[in-house]
Structure 1
Amino acid sequence: MFAGRYVWWLVTTSALFLISLVGFDYVASVIVGISDCASNEGSCYTLNNWLMGVIKPVLVDVSGVALVLVVVIRILYLRFLPLWIVPVLAWAGAVAGTFRAYAPMWHGNADYVLLGQQMPPSTYAFLALALFLAFPLEDEDAPEQGGAAPIGLLAGFMAFMCTLHAFATASGLPMLIAKTFHAFDLSRTIATIREILATFLLVADGNPIPGYFVTILFALALALRVLRHERLVSGQL
């Protein structure tokens, strides 16, 4: 998927995700308003619950998965190391629970600044990588030459650190594994590892600052990579 098509799909899937998460509230209100549910006592309540509690979460899930797939396809197209798919999936999984919790809520009078502040750092790590991939990186003939290797290693290391923070703060992961796969021993092992890692990364008390710090460093590494790419393409390197 070349850059232009990637940008188109990125914007489309992002818009669908935001519309599903925020705008569907108004769509549900219109559907309830134009329906004849008022003729049957309690029908409007049932219809609204079905739209907000069933349809909306499904739309959020489908559009979110589509957004992640677009990023993964772009990574494969650029022939990046397949290991880059691991942090993408880890970050998406880390924020999925947060968005699923927000999905059934009414967003008509929501404070989006406050919601943005409550988003896990993994949200912004995913966003930084998605925006980085929007640049036409495929027109760089020799990305391994010059200063790309150290910058790429730095970006990869910071992505690894962001992934560790996502795992350390995923308190619901052990329970999810236990419920989904009935692997209770594995669930307990993961819970123990997560607690040790959370203590080591200074996030055991729920402090998000270390996570935001490594996310900022990751974004800066990607920005350096873009600047070097632009200089290489323009013939300055």
Structure 2
Amino acid sequence: MFAGRYLWWMLMGIGIFMFAALSLDYITWLTIQLSGCGDMPGACEPVLRLISGMLKPACIWAAIGMLFMATLLRLHTLSLIWFWGPIVAIWFVASTPILLFLAADAAALTQPATLAALPVALLFPAAFVAYLMIAVEDGDMPPLAASAPLRLALRLTAVYGALAGVAFMPELSRIAGTLLDMPALSVVIALAQPYLQTVLTLGTGSMAPAYAVLTAFIAALAASLLPHAAAPQPSRSTIMLRRLRR
């Protein structure tokens, strides 16, 4: 998936999510007012079940699925799917609870406490998605391959972000145990998460190390967009000498 098409699909997914989060509640209210079902007890139940119980969750999950699949297709086009695909999958899984919360209570976006509590796992994919919207394949260098130290920094910070998503997702143990039908796995994850949180926060219990790694990740993404010196091309005499040796 090329950058222009990827941008279009991402805007479509974001638009569907915002429509479900911000507009469907007003549409439900308007439908109730116009139909007059509020005058009869229980008469509005079918409308509420259809819009709030079926249509809104379907739009939200469709938007999340669209964003996820478009990102995977974009990574496949850039030949980055093998490493970045699992990382992005973990980011999206860890970000889904906060997205569902924001969709259920869109007014929370205006509250400073909610903005301050946004998980790091949501900020990592947001930065990476913004990077993928750029036509990075049009340059001379392959995407995310500016230099070996830069590639290492990107991968280490991305792995940290994935581990942070696993460590700070309270619902992970319940979701994993339910989907895989393995109650023992839920217990293992619930016991391992506090230790992983301690390691990722360097024992401080603060999210400052996570935000420092996030800043390094964004800086590395920005640095990969800068022009880099291309490798020197072998001279014609060198090429002829290699052919003679063969």
**What TM-score do the two structures reach when normalised by structure 2?**
0.81
Amino acid across the alignment from 1:151: L
Q: Are 1:156 and 2:146 counterparts?
A: no
Stretch moving more, 62-71 or 36-45? 36-45
- Number of the residue aligned with 1:12: 12
Secondary structure of the equivalent of 2:201? coil
Pair 1:214-2:213 in alignment: yes
Who is 1:187 aligned against?
186
1:235 equivalent in structure 2: none
Q: CA deviation at 1:112?
A: 5.2
Question: What's the CA shift for 1:34?
Answer: 2.6
CA drift at 1:144: 8.3
Report how far residue 84 of structure 1 moved.
Answer: 0.1
How far residue 82 of structure 1 moved from its aligned partner, in angstroms, is 1.4
1:43 match: secondary structure = coil
**Aligned pairs (5 A) from 1:101-180:** 101-105=101-105, 107=106, 111=110, 113-143=112-142, 147-180=146-179
User: Unaligned 5+ residue runs, structure 1?
Assistant: 233-237
- Measure the CA separation in 2 of the matches of 1:118 and 1:166: 13
1:103 match: secondary structure: helix
CA RMSD of aligned residues (A): 2.8
Give, in angstroms, the shift of residue 31 of structure 1: 2.5
Could you tell me how far apart the structure 1 residues matched to 2:15 and 2:22 are? 10
Could you tell me which runs of 5 or more consecutive residues in structure 2 were left unpaired when the two chains were aligned: 231-246
The Cα shift of 1:178 comes to: 1.9
Judge which range, 160-169 or 22-31, deviates more: 22-31
Which has the higher mean CA deviation after the structures are superposed, 166-175 or 70-79? 166-175
Residues 71 and 203 (structure 1 numbering): CA distance in 2 closer, same or farther, change over 3 Å? farther
How do 1:21-170 residues align onto structure 2 when only pairs under 5 Å count? 21-38=21-38, 40-44=40-44, 47-48=47-48, 50-105=50-105, 107=106, 111=110, 113-143=112-142, 147-170=146-169
**Which amino acid is the alignment partner of residue 24 of structure 1?**
L
Distance 1:103 1:54, change over 3 A: farther
Question: SS at 1:41's partner residue?
Answer: coil
Q: Distance in 1 between matches of 2:145 and 2:155?
A: 17
| 1:113 to partner: Cα distance | 4.8
Following TM superposition, the consecutive aligned residue runs of length 4 or more in structure 1 with deviations greater than 6 angstroms are 203-206
Sequence identity (%): 25
Offset of 1:166 from its aligned partner? 0.8
Contact 2:144/2:224 (<8 A) preserved = no
Query: Rg bigger for which structure?
Result: 2
Deviates more, 1:175-184 or 1:118-127: 175-184
Question: Could you state the TM-score of these two structures normalised by the residue count of structure 1?
Answer: 0.84
* Structure with higher RCO (Cα < 8 A, 6+ apart): 1
CA–CA separation in structure 1 for the residues paired with 2:49 and 2:99: 18
Instruction: State the shift of 1:86 in Å.
Output: 1.2
Give aligned pairs, total: 230
